[in-house]
Structure 1
Amino acid sequence: MDQELLDGIRQIVREEISGVKDDVSSLKGDVSSLKSDVSSLKNDVSGLKDDVSLLKTDVSILKTDVAEMKPQLKENTDMIRTLLARTETHGAKLDQLDLKMANLEGTEKRQNKLEEEFYHHRHKIVIETDSPDFKVG
């Protein structure tokens, strides 16, 4: 009976170990899959680090470029403001010249009209030859 009892216990242990072996084998597969995933993540993170490093370099270059452009932009803006002010001044002077030209044209027309009237102007001169009246006295 001892032998039968031992054989029964062995059988139970084998059945229990068989389930555990399947679980361990499944865990080995899962761990292997996790290792592959972690390796892939490491590669992705390494690629991201490289991308971030390139972006930092690009941003640094952009900052330098913008810093160099700021003084030129200010100078250009100041020039445009000056040109706009001068344009307004020149516009006002042109308006004054237009007004003076209009006045001159009006004056010229009046002068031409007067010249025309003087050219066609006639006088009638009457000379009387009667005896003069002298008053002595």
Structure 2
Amino acid sequence: MILNMNEELLNSIRAIIKEELKPVKVSIHNMEDDINSMKGDISGLKDGFDNMKVDIDSMKGDIKSIKTLQEEDHLILKALEHKAEINKAEHDKIINNLAHLNGKITNMKNTLKSIKEDNKSIIEVLGEHEISIRTLKRRPV
């Protein structure tokens, strides 16, 4: 009889424990679901980080290309600046030469004007001499 009682008591305790453990099992099951969900989220984050790493590597390549192009542009700009300086020097030289030529042209105009005036005077003198010569030729000697 004590054995039966102990067994019944043991079965009762087991039933009580079983009932008490049901919510714990549900909680554990829910926690397992949450953990599995978190594992999926973490996996998604890892994929996202991997994609970000690929994007960052791509951006590094793009930045390197941009830097190379910028260096090339800088060299081209320096060459153009040098050519612009040379062109300015040549332009200044041409302007100086033009000013010098303008001065010479002005001098030549003044000289030509003087020559024309002298030529008119010579023509007038020659004309007077011609008249005198003709007059003398008509006179009897």
Task: Indicate the TM-score class for this superposition, using the shorter chain for normalisation.
Answer: 0.5 to 0.7
C-alpha deviation, 1:42, in angstroms:
1.0
Q: Which has the higher helix share?
A: 2
2:38 counterpart letter in structure 1: L
Q: Which residue of 2 aligns with 1:48?
A: 59
Q: What RMSD over aligned residues (CA atoms) do the two structures have, in Å? A: 3.5
Rounded to whole Å, the distance in 2 between the matches of 1:34 and 1:62 is 40
C-alpha deviation, 1:50, in angstroms:
1.2
Rounded to whole Å, the distance in 2 between the matches of 1:15 and 1:45 is 44
C-alpha deviation, 1:63, in angstroms:
3.8
Structure 2 unaligned regions, length at least 5: 1-11, 132-141
Q: Which residue of 1 aligns with 2:107?
A: 96
Aligned residues: 122
Deviation digits for residues 22-59 of structure 1, max 9, x if unmatched? 32222122112211211111111111111122223223
Deviation digits for residues 76-110 of structure 1, max 9, x if unmatched? 32222111111112123223334444555566678
1:7 counterpart letter in structure 2: K
Distance 1:9 1:111, change over 3 A: farther
Q: TM-score, normalised by structure 2?
A: 0.61
1:39 aligns with 2:50: yes
Structure 1 unaligned regions, length at least 5: 122-137
What is the percent sequence identity of the aligned residues?
17
Rounded to whole Å, the distance in 1 between the matches of 2:116 and 2:39 is 108
Q: TM-score, normalised by structure 1?
A: 0.63
1:25 aligns with 2:36: yes
Rounded to whole Å, the distance in 2 between the matches of 1:109 and 1:37 is 103
